[in-house]
Structure 1
Amino acid sequence: MAAKKKRRLVIRTVILTVMTAAVIYTLYANFTKESRSKVSAGDRAPDFVLEDLNGDKHQLSSYKGKGVFLNFWGTWCKPCEREMPYMNNQYKEFKDQGVEILAVNVGEPEFLINKFVEKHGLDFPILKDKNKDIMNMYGVFNLPATLLVNPQGEVIKVEEGELTEQKIREMMESIKPAKGS
């Protein structure tokens, strides 16, 4: 009988220790996530190279002189899905005015991304962040997330959450290069 009680006490102690460690880690992760290298307005946009669905490489710094609407998204994200047609409409209007959209899919299989792109008839580059390295580099935690990068390569705005078409239009207008630049 005493051995059973002792074993139960050891098991309970182990479970309590594991649960306490999990709570401490969760609290630490939540309280420090804002301070962990989150890119914000005024920062230089960290450079990266990602492949699109055609196998072409896109390096952010190669878009210097253009405004970049950098969007992080997933096929499972309903707000992402709702804003994509708006982004596509505005891309058609602004692409000849020096504004580029780079839509970074975070960690999904290529066949899912292709189905999504075909379903919505998207024309802008869809980049694959297979291991979420770029998402983590930019400190993106919630999807959708959009960063506006001006023609000089500086982040001027970070917006989390779903965007309306009017908001996307205003954002693209704000990063359009000045005439004669």
Structure 2
Amino acid sequence: MFFFSVNFAQVQAKTLETAPDFSLQDAGKTTYTLSSYRGKPVLLFFWTTWCPFCRKEMGELKNIYPQLTQEGWELFTIDIQEPEYKVENFMESHGLTFKLLLDKDGQVAYAYSVLGVPTYVLINKKGEIVFKDNYFPKDTYKKLIAE
């Protein structure tokens, strides 16, 4: 008698959440709207100046930023509910040139269910969230947006 067993891997379609749209200003009062960047991969970095882990991650972002821009990424650092002068001073004193957006009332952080900082959110070209965590997935970020 011949018996065989076939294992079928259950494949589930990955349902991706559409990134909530927002409009935020930078310190120069320029308004940036997420939906206007559809067609480009976008990295959101939620942070605060008082967070030691955020400060460490800013150093990492500074190192990878040139590569991200070369690859067509848009990077927005989003400070949550801090005075504008404090955030500007931090960015300037650390030589950071990223787009800095101010989430003065915390509504964008709330829309993205940010429970702590730092929080990274990767958004693919279709405007879907493909990653959200407290670290940057430097080994897999290209694969994540290609899916």
Deviation per CA, 1:51-89: give whole Å up to 9, x if none: 012211111111111111111100000000011021122
TM-score w.r.t. the length of structure 2 is 0.83
State the secondary structure of the residue aligned to 1:169.
Answer: coil
Structure 2 unpaired stretches of 5+: 1-14
Partner of 2:24: 50
Partner of 1:124: 98
How many Å separate the matches in 2 of 1:54 and 1:99?
Answer: 22
Which structure carries more strand by proportion? 2
Partner of 1:59: 33
Partner of 1:169: 138
RMSD: 1.9
Deviation per CA, 1:107-145: give whole Å up to 9, x if none: 000111011101211111010000001011111111111
**Cα separation, partners in 2 of 1:91 and 1:177, compared to 1, 3 Å:** farther
1:78 aligns with 2:47: no
Q: Which amino acid aligns with 1:169?
A: K
How many Å separate the matches in 2 of 1:123 and 1:133?
Answer: 24
How many Å separate the matches in 1 of 2:68 and 2:145?
Answer: 8
8 Å contact kept, 2:123–2:131? yes
Count of residue correspondences: 133
Return the index of the structure with the highest Cα Rg: 1
